[in-house]
Amino acid sequence: MAKLLIWGLLLYIGYRIFLSLTSAKKPLEKPSGNRQADTVTHRDPVCGVYVSEEQAIIGNHEGQRHYFCSMNCLEKYREQLDHR
């Protein structure tokens, strides 16, 4: 009985090694040095933080787009417009 368990364990380990060697793996993608240069950033008009276009909250005022880092800054900007 013990021999059967040992053979089963050895077969399982061999099977796992075989799968790991034959499975298709994605090559590791190296980050390119100019990736940061491709990202477009805009300055938040309320707090001055630079935020990427992809992560920004966009608000429009008089046909112009404004980019905000958070909803809080967008709301503060709208409050400033209301007080004018």
> What's the pLDDT tens digit per position in 35-45?
556 789 999 99
Q: Identify whether 66 is part of a domain.
A: yes
pTM: 0.54
Indicate the number of domains in the chain.
Answer: 1
The two most distant CA atoms of the chain are separated, in Å, by 88
Range of the domain at 58: 39-84
Q: Identify whether 21 is part of a domain.
A: no
pLDDT digits (tens, 9 = 90+) for 35-76: 556 789 999 999 999 999 999 999 998 899 999 999 999 999
Q: Identify whether 10 is part of a domain.
A: no
Q: Identify whether 26 is part of a domain.
A: no
Confidence band, pLDDT 50/70/90 cuts, at residue 31 = low
Q: Identify whether 59 is part of a domain.
A: yes
26: Cα separation from own chain's centroid: 19
Q: How far, in Å, CA of 55 to CA of 73, rounded? A: 14
Q: Identify whether 3 is part of a domain.
A: no
